[in-house]
Structure 1
Amino acid sequence: MRSYITTTEETALIHRAEHRVAARESCRDLNFKILHIALWSLIAVVILTSAFAPAITFLTFALWGTLTLIANMALKLTTAILFLHRGAMASFKYKTRATDTALPKISIMVPLLKESAIVSHLLTHLRQLDYPKNLLQVILVMERDDITTAKTLAGTKLPPWITAIDVPRGTIKTKPRALNYALDHCKGSIIGVYDAEDAPEPGQLRKVARHFAQGDEKLACVQGTLDFYNARTNWLSRCFSIEYATWFRIILPGLARLRLPVPLGGTTLFFRRHILEELGGWDSHNVTEDADIGIRLTRFGYHTELLPTVTLEEANCRGWPWIRQRSRWLKGYAVTWAVHMRAPKTLLRDMGLWQFFGVQLLFAGTLSQFFWRLYFGPSGWPFSPCPIP
């Protein structure tokens, strides 16, 4: 039946995967030509003012950089105080141990791209999940033209609760588009996302299910903690470990408690299905779809909570891939901010003043700090793994 539907309705399913999010909340209609012109115009203005009025230019950048730095540090200090006062995350005490019959159906999507060696590692950790397999559905999502992954899976025997689907070609090829396509194949009331190299702790899904069961109706998303199993490989992997420990155990829980938008991670995410579908899934055209969906959850009146359950993944240990990754994140932050600031009054009305301020601080503040350090030369170049300078 699934094969018949995906064959006969392929064009409609592709269009749906690429256009699930409403146009006003997506970057697919964003005029990047105008953005590029505006960016280069700004750079030209900075160069000219630096040449003819260096003192004024320096003072302007110094004041703006100092202001955004103080605001960022104040936010981090607040989250650190919350951490010291109440712990990294609330110590959730579940009222009862839910029986298997009370547990919900959970669907996990795992996007794969050109995977040849990691699949056995992934399947090993998926099999270790302590959750009734009749209530668990795992979907391995791969692109139809991904010959490497297809060959790997063809030689792998999958258990009946794990299936693989291939995403047909469309106008774009992105992770969020693949997730949108696979969403229609999910059967669970809770939708989760893992990466191929993830090693979640065995009892994670039970914690997620119980947390959703005891959360309020506005709890839309549960974000787990990410850590690394190769933290001691080199200096860069150690920096990543420090960054992630701070980000997922202090800053993100603090943002959640302050009811500010939470820039989600790309994995160990779990959503209530009906809320995810109400939002339209992921923006297929955004390279940081996880951070974007964190803002849209807030705009719709929902919230995210952090759960003290750890998923281990592989830290980036090489310089060039790290630079590409951080460049993509900065681009995604810029695009996400531009999308939601197309109509500032609407964003303010949807969020309220406090959360609107949070968006400016988290996204515009981060970008401001990057360009401020870039402007002040190599000594300020942001060679730090931290996503928020």
Structure 2
Amino acid sequence: MANTLFYISLSVIWIMLLYHMFLMQGGYLHYLRFRRPIKRWEQNGIPLPKVSILIPAHNEEVVIERTLKAMIRLEYPKEKLEIVVINDNSSDRTGEIADRYAAKYPSVKVVHTKPPHAGKGKSGALNQGLKHSTGDIIVVYDADNTPERKAVYYLVLAMLNDPKAGVVVGKFRVVNAAHNLLTRFINIETICFQWMAQAGRFNWFKVTTIPGTNFAIRRSLIEQLGGWDEKALAEDTELTIRVYNSGYYIRFFPAAITWEQEPETWKVWWKQRTRWARGNQYVVLKFAGSLFSLRKKSIMFDILYFFFTYFLFFLGVIISDMLFIINLFVDLQLNIGIVAIILWILAFFLYVTEVMIALSIEKTEFTLKNILIILFMYFTYSQLWIVLVMYALFLETKRVLLREETRWYKTERFSKDKQQKEAL
């Protein structure tokens, strides 16, 4: 029995590793050609529509001014740009800072939310902002984001020239990547997500997940869908499913780049990633019952991918590790032959190869230091994710069984960002 479980677990791990290598190949192909249509799109001369940028902000005084400065510098016609800051029941100076910019710049508008319809999470704030916006296209940025000057222009350009795209998603980079070892781990993780999961799935299946920031959605579509799900901790993933099921698809267009701050302490990282894991588990369970009735069949495959990632894959890793460790002290008659050991070693090298390919796309990141960090990352950061996902599953199961109210955790911000790009 132990042998059967061990080899089943090992098989699940290898299926996921090979799938990610397949995605990485697709991501590299997308990198080689995503810029090709830009010149043709610009020559089409389609008039730019009015855009509303929604920035949900709850106690964001540390970062909101830097974000607003980046928004003011955006290269998009000012008369067609509306920047809506949703001051979501903040108890700090967020509202005061936003009001100061609104008084100085006509394009900035501030929405102050109050209880009982306030302070409940990002989705609620976005829905409030949507009500007070007037743009034909809605763009979302987190309050710690500093988009590059042409980011919004590129999001809109892709949407105007791709009528099948209900949403256009850009790329995000880590502004404080060099702060400490944790932020270096997150930087590598983020790059892999962009080029492996986002670009890879878009290249092969025309499937991309909406991130929490740096994306544009048609106003008609978000209104048709009834806005954001206020019960979802991962509102971006949940919205992704509904967008595909509406008949549209999501385009990954990495020419649109934003820089964002990532957690600088393990405590903040743990809380943020736990919310992400719980949110994605919620999405899987929410749509599991209607899996085969979804209008867009390609997204059914993606839900299965999330199921494998947040349930089977981590379960496979945990079972194989536990059996191996228990067998050191108790004879389980576990026959770990030379083939299994070779497969374990090859899995490690396959992981390293996938990550290195992703880093090679971002030329400044393919360094000897980052390569050494990748080797260390496998035995530390990646293994910690296993514990985190199991903890998140426990919390989500408890929430469902006890019918607990969903509680939103807002990621803590940090004031020192020496890595901020002055050239934005």
Q: How does 1:142-291 map to 2 (within 5 A)?
A: 142-144=87-89, 146-154=91-99, 156=101, 157-170=103-116, 173-215=120-162, 217-259=163-205, 261-291=207-237
8 A Cα contact 2:30 2:200, kept in partner: no
Question: Residues 46-125 of structure 1: matches in 2 within 5 Å?
Answer: 55-56=1-2, 59-60=4-5, 62-87=6-31, 90-91=34-35, 92-95=37-40, 97=42, 102-125=47-70
Corresponding residue for residue 305 of structure 2: 361
1:131 matches 2:76: yes
Task: Report how far residue 86 of structure 1 moved.
Answer: 4.6
Shift of 1:388: 10
What CA distance in whole angstroms lies between the structure 2 residues aligned with 1:169 and 1:64? 51
**Gapped runs of 5+ residues in structure 1?**
1-54
- Residues 166, 250 of structure 2: 8 Å contact kept: yes
Aligned to 2:344: none
Q: Give the counterpart letter for 1:368 in structure 2.
A: L
- Count of aligned pairs: 328
* Between 114-123 and 147-156, the greater mean CA deviation after superposition: 147-156
Query: Which residue does the alignment assign to 1:325?
Result: 272
| Residues 98, 129 of structure 1: alpha-carbon distance in 2 compared, 3 angstrom cutoff | farther
Equivalent position of 2:246 in the other structure: 300
Q: 1:154 to 1:279 in 2, by over 3 A?
A: closer
Contact residue 41 and residue 161 of structure 2 kept, 8 A: no
Contact 2:12/2:316, CA 8 A, preserved across alignment:
no
Contact 1:194 1:268 in 2 (8 A): yes
Is the contact between residue 94 and residue 210 of structure 1 (CA under 8 Å) also seen in structure 2? no
Residue 97 of structure 1 deviates from its aligned partner by 3.4
Find the aligned partners of 1:186 and 1:155 in 2 and give their Cα distance. 19
Structure 1 residue 384, shift from structure 2 partner:
4.8
1:94 Cα shift?
3.0
- After superposing the two structures, state which structure 1 stretch, 355-364 or 222-231, moved more: 355-364
Q: Is the 8 A contact 1:110 1:141 kept in 2?
A: yes
* Greater mean alpha carbon deviation, residues 124-133 or residues 368-377: 368-377
C-alpha contact (below 8 Å) 1:227/1:311 kept by paired residues: yes
- Alpha-carbon contact 2:145-2:259 (below 8 Å) kept: yes
Q: 1:235 to 1:355 in 2, by over 3 A?
A: same
Measured against aligned partners, the alpha-carbon deviations of 1:106-147 in whole angstroms (never above 9, x if no partner) come to 000001111223222112111110111100000000223545
2:362 matched residue in structure 1: none
- After superposition, the C-alpha distances for 1:183-236 in whole angstroms (9 at most, x for unaligned) are 121111110001111111101222222211211x22111111010121111111
Q: CA 1:85–1:129 in 2, change beyond 3 Å: closer, same or farther?
A: closer
Q: In structure 2, what is the Cα distance between the partners aligned to 1:374 and 1:71?
A: 16
SS for the counterpart of 1:282 is: coil
CA distance in 1, matches of 2:123, 2:17: 32
Go from structure 1 to structure 2 and tell me whether the alpha carbon gap of 1:82 and 1:191 turns closer, same or farther (over 3 Å shift).
same
Cα separation, 1, equivalents of 2:384 and 2:306: 19
| Residue identity in the other structure for 2:109 | T
Q: CA RMSD in A?
A: 2.8
SS in 2 for 1:317: coil
Query: Aligned to 1:361, what secondary structure does the other structure show?
Result: helix
Write the distance in 2 (CA, Å) between the matches of 1:222 and 1:344.
Answer: 24
Q: Percent identical across equivalent pairs?
A: 21
Q: What TM-score, normalized to structure 1?
A: 0.76
Q: Is the deviation greater in 85-94 or in 333-342?
A: 85-94
1:342 corresponds to 2:289: yes
- What are the superposed Cα offsets for residues 54-106 of structure 1, whole Å, 9 maximum, x if unpaired? x45x743x355334323322321122222344536612333253799911100
Aligned amino acid, residue 60 of structure 2? E
Contact 2:27 2:198 (8 Å CA) reproduced? no
